[in-house]
Structure 1
Amino acid sequence: MPRRVYVHIGAPKTGSTFVQNVLFGNAERLQQAGLLVPGTFQAHDQAMTDLRQVPWRDANLHWTWDRLVESCARWPGDVILTSEGFGAATTAQARRAVESLRPAEVHVVVAARDLWRTFPSMWQQTIRARSTWRFEDFLKAVELGRFDGFWEDYVANRMFLRWGDLVPPAQRHIVTVPQPGTPHDVLWQRFAGILGVPADIGATVDPGSNPSLGAPEIEVLRRVNAALGDRYPHRLPYQRVVHKHLVRAVLQERDNDVRFGVGLDRAGWVAQLAEQQIKELQDYPCHIVGDLAELRPHRMDGSTSPDELDDRQILNAAIETIVGMLGHADSLHQELKAREPAGMLNRVKRGLRRRLVS
C-alpha cells in the first residue's frame, strides 16, 4: 500500500486542468521523484463518477473507484488522485473513499478562488455541461438561496469540510489561486510543495489548455444547448459531439475578447461573501498554502453580461461559428481522405493473404 495518498478534490475552475496537465504530462518524472500518478485523466474522471454514483455515468466505463485504488495498491511511495468532481461527493461517499485508501496516510487537497472570478467561470462551466439558464438567472438563484448546490459542489469551503473532517488537521491542505498577473507556475509550485516534488517539473506546461469563451461565444453555445432538445442528453455523448466539434474545435479558437462578469451592482454582495468564506477557512484547522487574502476580489470592473448582448452580436458570432465548423468539417474530411489509401492497401493485402492461405 502507498505511504501517503493525496486526494485533490477540486474545486472546479481553480486551475485544476492546468495542475492535472502537469501531473499527467510529467507522470514519469514524478514517479522518479516518488509520486505515482496512476492511470490517465480519464481513469480518474471515470472513478469519480463511480464513487459519486452519478446518474449520468456510462455503464460501460472501464474505470471504477475500486479499480483506481487497486492500480496503485502495490506502490510503496506517494500517490495522487485528482478530479475536480471528487469534491461534490457526499459525506458517506468521501468516507468510503478515505477508508478504502487506508492504511495509507490520506491527505485532502482543495483549491479556492475568489468569487468575483468564480461566478462567471462556474456559470460558463454549467453551460459547457449542457445547461441553458441565463447568467442573470444563475446569479439570482445563488443570491436568493435557490441554488445551494453552488456552495456544496463548486466552492471549496463545504466540500473541504466533508472530506477534511475525515483526516487529521495536518493532512488537510487548502491552496489559494493566485490573483491575475501572477506567473502561472505559482499555482503548481504551491501544489508541488504539498506533494513534496520538484516545482520545476511543470514549468513548461501551457496554462491555457482550457480557455474561457467570450460573451458572444458562450451565448451561442447556450442557445445551441436549448435548441438541441433531447439530443445528446448525457455527459459523454455531449462531450464527444458538442464539446469536441463545437466548443474545442471552433468556439475556443475564436478571439473570445468580449469578456463578461458580475456587474458592479453586486460588488458589495460578493465582497461580503468573500469575507465570510475567508473567516470559515481561517477557523478550520488546516494547512494553508498561499494567502486567504487572495480570496478577496482583486479588481472589480464593470463588464458585459451575455444577457446584454444584442441580436446583431449573437448573429455575427453564430455566422462565424458556422464558418468555423465548415472549416473544421473540411479538415476532418481531408484527414480521412489522407488515411484512405493506406487503409485500402491494407485491406487488399489482407484479402490476398486470405486467398493464399485458403
Structure 2
Amino acid sequence: MPDPRLVLHIGAMKTGTTFVQDLLIANAERLRAEGWYVPDQRTVVRATRELLALTDAALGSGRAARPASLDDAPRWVALMDDVRARTAEPGCAGAIVSMEFLSYAKRPGVQRVLESSHGLDLRVVLTVRDAVRALPSQWQSLTRNAHRLSWPEFAVAARTRGQRPPHPGTRAFRRTQDIPRMVRTWGEFVAPERFTAITVPAQKDQPRTLLWDRLLDVVGVDPARTVTDTAFDNPQLGYGSCDLMRRVNDAGLAAEPPSAYRRVMRRLTHQELLPLRESESRPRVDQTTAAFAADLNGRSLAAIAEHATLLGDAADLPTEPPPSSSLDPGDVPAQVPDVEVRRAAEALFGGALAWCETEGLELPAELAAPLPHDLDAAVRQVAGVLAVAIARDPSHRLPTD
C-alpha cells in the first residue's frame, strides 16, 4: 500500500501564497471529501517558525552543548504526527500544507523536514513569479513588517553581489526572492519528479484562479469540486504609503516589539492607508534592475529545469526586460514624490490619534499637535504617536539620535 502523500507548498513569498492558503481554508471540508486533509493554518505557521528557528549552532554550553535537532521543534513534530494520523484514516489520500516561510530553509532545515516526514510520500511545490513584479511587491511587504530600506535601496541591494558583510537588502532579497537558491537547496534532497515549480500567471487576461488550478493539478483534485469566490484579496499599499511606513520604521518604530507592532500597524494601514492606493503611484523598476530581474527569471528557469518539474508557462518568467516605457530610466528606481508621503502621513496620523483616544491614551501636547510642515519632522511625530499606541503607554517615547 503506498504511503499517504504530503503536498508541501513552500512559497515563495509574493507568489499568491495568501490566495492559496485562503482557498485551502475555505475548501477544507470539500478537500476532505476528496480525501485530502488541510491542517489548521495557525498551527502550520507556528510549527514552521519553530522549525526555522533552529540553527546549526550548538544548544546549551560547555560539555552539555549539542547540535539542534527535531527534538527542539516539538510543534513541527506534532504537526507531522497529526498529518500521519489523519492520512492513515480510511479514505484519506494525503494532506496539503502551505507555508511560504519554508522557502527560507537552508540545507539543515530541508533535511529536518525530510526526516520528520517519514512514512509520507513527500511532494514539494514552489510557486514562482516574474521577478519584475515580485521585487517591488516584496519591498512593499517588508515595509509593513518594520523594515527600513527605501525602494531604490532595496532594488540596488537585491542585485549587489560580493559585498561583505552583505547589505541588509541583499540578505532580505536572498531570503525571500532568490528562486535559484531555493530550487537548488530543496532540489538537492527532493527528486525532480517530486518537486514541482508552478508559475504564477503573468498575463492580465488569464483567470485569477489559474494558480489554484495548477496547485490542484499536483494534488490530483478537480478544481470544479472547490469554490474560489471567497478568496482573500491582498492588495499592496501605494508607493507613498509604503515609503511612509519605511520612514516611520526608520524613525525608531522598527525597534518596537514585533507582535505589538503588527497588532497596531496591520489594522491602521488597512484602515487608513489602503484607501489611498488608487490615488498613489506604484514603485517601478529601473532599466538596470529590470535587466537583473530578467536574468533572475532565466536563472530560475535553468535551476527548475535541472532540479524540478515546471508546471505552467515558461513565458510567465520573461527573460527579456519589459519595454523601456514601463521602466524608470537609469540604474536606480525613482523615489516617490514627497506629496504622496505627506498625504499618507496625515491619514496615518489621524488614525493613530483615534486609536489612542479609543484606548484611553492621553497624548502629550507635542504629539497631539498638528503635523509640522517639514516632512521629516512630521514623520517623527507620526512615529511617536504610533509608538504610544503600540506600547499602550502615553509616556513611551522613541529613542532619539
TM-score (norm 1): 0.81
How far has the Cα of 1:329 moved from its partner?
A: 7.0
SS of 2:84's equivalent in the other structure is coil
Note the alpha carbon deviations across 1:33-52, whole angstroms, 9 max, x for none.
1110112x221111111111
1:290 to 298, 305, 312: 312
What residue is the counterpart of 2:77 in the other structure?
A: 66
Amino acid at match of 1:126: L
Residues 169-248 of structure 1 mapped to structure 2, 5 A cutoff: 169-181=192-204, 182-200=206-224, 201-208=226-233, 210-229=234-253, 231-234=255-258, 236-243=259-266, 245-248=267-270
Report if the CA contact (8 A) 1:178-1:186 is conserved: yes
Cα distance in structure 1, aligned partners of 2:249 and 2:292: 30
Cα distance, 1:239 vs. partner? 1.6
Change (3 A) 1:48 1:32: same
Distance 1:139 1:80, change over 3 A: same
User: 1:280-299, CA deviations, whole angstroms, 9 ceiling, x for partnerless residues?
Assistant: 22233x22110122111684
Q: Which residue of 1 aligns with 2:160?
A: 144
1:156 aligns with 2:179: yes
CA distance in 2, matches of 1:220, 1:148: 22
Structure 1 residue 13 displacement after superposition? 0.3
Paired position in structure 2 for 1:302: 327
1:194 is displaced (CA, Å) by 0.5
Q: Is the 8 A contact 1:192 1:198 kept in 2?
A: yes
Counterpart code for 1:183: P
Counterpart of 1:89 in structure 2 is 105
Shift of 1:206: 3.1
- Contact persistence 1:264–1:302 (CA under 8 A): yes
Tell me which residue corresponds to 1:336: none
From the superposition, tell whether residues 14 and 315 of structure 1 become closer, same or farther in structure 2 (CA, over 3 Å): same
Determine helix, strand or coil for the equivalent of 2:85. Answer: coil
Identity fraction in percent:
28
Could you tell me how far apart the structure 1 residues matched to 2:302 and 2:214 are?
A: 21
2:150 corresponds in structure 1 to 134
Q: Partner of 1:17 in structure 2?
A: 18
Shift of residue 32 of structure 1?
0.9
Q: In structure 2, the residue corresponding to 1:162 is in which secondary structure?
A: helix
- How far, CA to CA, are the matches of 1:211 and 1:122 in structure 2? 12
Residues 305-342 of structure 1, C-alpha deviations (whole Å, 9 max, x = no match): 98623333321221123334556778899xxxxxxxxx
RMSD: 2.7
Q: Distance in 2 between matches of 1:94 and 1:240?
A: 31
Which secondary structure state, in structure 2, belongs to the residue aligned with residue 73 of structure 1?
Answer: helix
Count of aligned positions: 322
Aligned counterparts, 1:252-291, within 5 A: 252-256=274-278, 257-284=280-307, 286-291=308-313
Paired residues of 1:134 and 1:307 also in contact (CA < 8 A): no
Question: What is aligned with 2:31?
Answer: 30
- The whole-number CA distance in structure 2 between the counterparts of 1:255 and 1:84 is 26
**Alignment-mate amino acid for residue 161 of structure 1:** R
Task: Give the distance between the partners of 2:144 and 2:54, measured in 1 at CA.
Answer: 18
Alignment partner of 1:115 out of 88, 112, 131: 131
> Partner amino acid for 2:84?
A
Whole-angstrom CA distance in 1 between matches of 2:75 and 2:147: 26
Shift of the 136–54 alpha-carbon distance from structure 1 to 2, 3 Å rule, reads farther
What per-residue deviation string (whole Å, max 9, x for no partner) do you get for residues 231-270 of structure 1? 4233x22222222x22233222333441112123433333
Note the C-alpha offset of 1:115. 0.8
SS of alignment partner, residue 254 of structure 1: helix
Closer/same/farther in 2, CA of residues 280 and 168 from structure 1, 3 Å limit: closer
Q: Are the aligned partners of 1:2 and 1:72 in contact in 2 as well (CA < 8 Å)?
A: no
Aligned partners of 1:188 and 1:247: how far apart in 2? 28
